[in-house]
Amino acid sequence: MAIEQQNGHSHQNGVSTTPFPQRPIIILGAGIIGCAAARQLLQKGFQVILVAEYLPGDQNIFYASAWAGAAWHSAGGICDEYKYLQVVSHRHLLKLAQEEPEAGVCMVKSREYLEEAPGKNSAIWGRTVVSNFRHLKPGEFPSNFNCGWEYDCLVTDPTKHMPYLGKKITSLGGRFIRQKVYSLAELYDMFPESRIFINASGWGSKLLSDVKDDKCFPERGQNVFFKTPNTGTMYFRNGKEYTYVIPRPMSNGLVLGGIKQRDNLSPEVDMDIARDEIARAHRLAPEVVPSDPPEEDLSYIVGIRPSREGGFRLDSQRIGERTVLSAYGFGGGGYAFAYGVADALVRMVEDAEFENVINPDAKTVAVL
Ligand SMILES: Cc1cc2nc3c(=O)[nH]c(=O)nc-3n(C[C@H](O)[C@H](O)[C@H](O)COP(=O)(O)OP(=O)(O)OC[C@H]3O[C@@H](n4cnc5c(N)ncnc54)[C@H](O)[C@@H]3O)c2cc1C
């Protein structure tokens, strides 16, 4: 993956040697949101530069994309437009699973158990997207649950997918610059010719001096990775115990979780939580998770989800001569939304390009 420290433009004998004859789209953030957007934009022929403190392949707790499960799971309680973002993501992930094994996307069985029958606007809308959905019959799910269902589920292994995206973006002509910035204005100075900027900085949007989104908050996750060959089925339960068992077939193991700790930034593994997650995973899926797995088969994952009160932000604002697209605050669902969000960002970039040509002096605010 090609990484630069800064953008270089020069002129020799009056001839521009700038590497970008077209004004590049600048993306702040190289997590799953920034990288998926970069991939989709590059495939459409746009020039793209990503600026980020953490890049594909890095492992820092503030780089959520390195630590996700990551299952495509339909979210409950969302509007139809957001459901469709997930549908588009599913379509792209399925294509990756079928055509690009190095992307780390696999299809597994999923079994989901519910303590109460699904209410209005529950996650069951996802049955229209996934394959082989069926309600489980009594006796097919543990007796302490009200109901359950089974379907084919897409899981993404972030230890494969982020490096894949890093290489893919570079091979399509995209560029990475490793740099921490303190405001969007700093980016405008770095790229005076660019007109379109995408803020995909996750939790960083709380700290950028000209964004300062106080709805953003860090939500700590901690998982157990259990090395095992039994990676054919995902298990998920909703209700009293928020617990999942997410397969990573390409890494020969299962991710056991979960937990959400608001405003907790600790990088240390909390062994009480780890033991509780193993116990919960065993109660959910005793057929694949033993009550006391061997210590040598266990390792631990800690990551900070970039959460946001009221849900994620996805919109486009014209600010003077520039357009700033915001795509952050995806909390525990960034992988399930990323490619749908990326396609939405491509449409917003195209709209902004159109406005730049047709109406260069407009100062309107457009929202998704
Ligand atoms: C334990 C755990 C399990 C999860 N499981 C799932 C799952 O099963 N399914 C699912 O869909 N999602 C899951 N998630 C959530 C998912 O990981 C996140 O929603 C997603 O990774 C967010 O991506 P992002 O690109 O918005 O943010 P990040 O991956 O955090 O990336 C932010 C980027 O912005 C950069 N940045 C921020 N501020 C600045 C700055 N000032 N200057 C320069 N760069 C900056 C960072 O360096 C980084 O490159 C899980 C998360 C965790 C922690």
Whether 363 is in a domain gets the answer yes
Give the span between the Cα atoms of 323 and 196, in whole angstroms.
Answer: 5
User: What is the CB < 6 Å shell around ligand 1?
Assistant: 28-34, 52-54, 63-65, 67-71, 180-181, 200-202, 204, 208, 221, 223, 246, 301, 303, 305-306, 328, 330-336
* Closest Cα to atom 38 of ligand 1: 204
Number of domains in the chain: 1
Which residue among 189, 330, 345 has the greatest number of ligand 1 atoms within 8 angstroms of its CB, and so is best to mutate? Answer: 330
pLDDT score for 170: 98
As given in the structure block, the two tokens for residue 94 are 């399925």
Geometric angle at alpha carbon 330, from 213 and 148, rounded to 5° = 145
Residue in 201, 213, 243 to alter for ligand 1 test, most ligand atoms within 8 A of Cβ: 201
The residues that bridge with 308 in the sheet, in sequence order, are 216
Question: How many angstroms is it from 34 CA to the middle of ligand 1?
Answer: 10
For residue 119, the model assigns a pLDDT of 82
Q: How far is the CA of 80 from the centre of ligand 1 (A)?
A: 24
Report the pLDDT value the prediction gives residue 351, as an integer from 0 to 100. Answer: 94
Mutate to test the pocket of ligand 1, among 49, 53, 216, 313 (most ligand atoms within 8 A of CB): 53
Residue whose CA is at the smallest distance from ligand 1 atom 16: 334
- The pLDDT of residue 166: 98
202 CA from centroid of ligand 1 (Å): 6
H or E segment to which residue 319 belongs: strand 313-319
Task: Please report, to the nearest 10 degrees, the dihedral formed by the alpha carbons of residues 137, 143, 147, 151 taken in order.
Answer: -60
What is the CA angle 158-163-166, rounded to 5? 125
Q: Residue 245: in which H helix or E strand, if any?
A: strand 243-248
CA angle 18, 323, 46 (to 5 degrees): 45
The β-bridge partners of 225 are: 255, 299
322 contacts: CB under 8 Å, gap ≥ 6: 188, 194, 195, 196, 197
Ligand 1 centroid to residue 295 C-alpha, Å: 28
Q: What b/e sequence results for 112-130 when a residue is b if at least 16 CB atoms lie within 10 Å of its CB, and e otherwise? A: bbbeeebeeebbbbbeebb
Low-confidence stretches of the chain (pLDDT beneath 50): 5-17, 367
* 78 is a domain residue: no
CATH of the domain at 37: 3.40.50.720
What is the pTM assigned to this prediction? 0.94
**Which pLDDT does position 14 carry in this prediction?**
45
Instruction: Please state the atom number of ligand 1 nearest to the C-alpha of residue 205.
Output: 38
* Residue partners of 189: CB distance under 8 A and separation at least 6: none
In a domain, 138, yes or no: no
Please write down the HEC assignment for all residues of 112-158. Answer: EEECCCCCCCCHHHHHHCCCCCEECCCCCCCCCCCEEEEEEEEEECH
Residue type, 110: S
- Cα distance between residue 39 and residue 34, in whole Å: 9
Atom of ligand 1 nearest to the CA of 329: 26
Residue 361's domain comprises: 1-9+21-70+157-214+309-368
